[in-house]
């Protein structure tokens, strides 16, 4: 088989699995609904209930929206772990073993579907935030930078979710393993400034990977100082992507070659 034929077959395998995963996402409307509804509810709760009591030096909705966007991607990526776990535990892998299809195509399909779901949910959250009073002062380049960083983050997080789905023994355990992806943003600067947290929480908030990503997106959209957050966000996202893709691939091969 020539290199061109091998590449073409690989692209065909990935395309088939992407199409399958996207169609499964369309059928699983409740998962997409929750991924959209929960961030919207959280945004409404913090803006309308807690926002008046939280001092961030600016309009609270302008402060909180970047954090909500990261939270949205976490909800969307967490469902990837459950989708992968479902395939790993319901016989789909055994069916794929009997077909001439590349092993990486299945995980790539799930990750791509996750990116599509997150693009839809993130777009809807942005539209809702604008209706609620969010007023970014970003130019075209700033919007592209924010979107690019969010895209890198969601791809890295989706591969991590795929790895968790591979090692999970059931869909339920995959959901439990993915819980930390939903919890970590609450310990970042998503909802309040790190300086206002208790002393023992400040180092956790300032030195975890979510905070520089949020601060970079916040800088792009609302004009706050970027500082080193851009470099740190790219380093964290790039490192997480490399680690996650390697981990997911190794775990998948180990589990499917037993």
Q: Which residues contact 149 (CB under 8 A, 6 or more apart)?
A: 213, 216, 217, 220, 233, 234, 237
Q: Is the pLDDT of residue 188 over 90?
A: no
Write b or e for each residue in 50-78: b if 16 or more Cβ atoms lie within 10 A of its Cβ, otherwise e.
ebeeeeeeeebbbbbbbbbbbbbbbbbbb
With contact defined as beta carbons under 8 Å apart, do 110 and 84 qualify?
yes
Question: Residue 200 — pLDDT band, cuts 50, 70, 90?
Answer: confident
User: For 110-130, what is the mean pLDDT?
Assistant: 86
Neighbours of 175 (CB within 10 A): 17
User: For 129-138, what is the mean pLDDT?
Assistant: 89
Question: Residue 45 — pLDDT band, cuts 50, 70, 90?
Answer: confident
Higher local confidence (pLDDT), 49 or 21: 49
Nearest to 148 by CA among 208, 233, 24, 63: 233
pLDDT the model gives residue 104: 67
pLDDT the model gives residue 258: 58
| Cα 51 to Cα 215: distance, rounded to the nearest angstrom | 19
Q: Which range among 6-10, 15-19, 186-190, 197-201 shows the weakest confidence by mean pLDDT?
A: 6-10
Q: Which range among 54-63, 108-117, 185-194, 249-258 shows the weakest confidence by mean pLDDT?
A: 249-258
pLDDT the model gives residue 112: 85
User: For 197-201, what is the mean pLDDT?
Assistant: 86
Question: Residue 2 — pLDDT band, cuts 50, 70, 90?
Answer: very low
Q: Is the pLDDT of residue 6 over 90?
A: no
Higher local confidence (pLDDT), 151 or 75: 151
Question: Residue 14 — pLDDT band, cuts 50, 70, 90?
Answer: low
């Amino acid at each position: 088989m020539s290199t061109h034929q091998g590449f073409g077959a690989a692209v065909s395998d990935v395309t088939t699995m992407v199409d399958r995963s996207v169609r499964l996402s369309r059928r699983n409307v409740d998962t997409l609904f929750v991924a959209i509804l929960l961030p919207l509810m959280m945004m409404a709760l913090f803006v309308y209930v807690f926002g008046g009591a939280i001092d961030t030096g600016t309009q609270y909705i302008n402060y909180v929206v970047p954090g909500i966007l990261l939270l949205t991607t976490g909800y969307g990526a967490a469902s990837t772990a459950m989708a992968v776990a479902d395939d790993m535990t319901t016989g789909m892998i055994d069916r794929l073993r009997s077909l001439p299809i590349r092993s990486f195509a299945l995980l790539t399909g799930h990750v791509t579907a996750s990116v599509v779901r997150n693009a839809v949910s993130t777009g809807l959250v942005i539209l809702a935030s604008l209706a609620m009073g969010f007023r970014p002062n970003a130019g075209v380049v700033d919007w592209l930078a924010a979107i690019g960083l969010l895209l890198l983050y969601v791809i890295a997080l989706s591969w991590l979710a795929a790895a968790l789905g591979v090692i999970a023994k059931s869909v339920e355990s995959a959901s439990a393993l993915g819980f930390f992806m939903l919890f970590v943003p609450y310990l970042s600067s998503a909802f309040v400034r790190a300086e206002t947290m208790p002393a023992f929480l400040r180092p956790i908030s300032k030195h975890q990977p979510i905070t520089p990503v949020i601060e970079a997106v916040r800088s792009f959209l609302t004009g706050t100082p970027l500082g080193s957050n851009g470099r740190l966000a790219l380093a964290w996202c790039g490192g997480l992507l490399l680690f996650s893709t390697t981990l997911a691939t190794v775990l998948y091969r180990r589990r499917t070659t037993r």
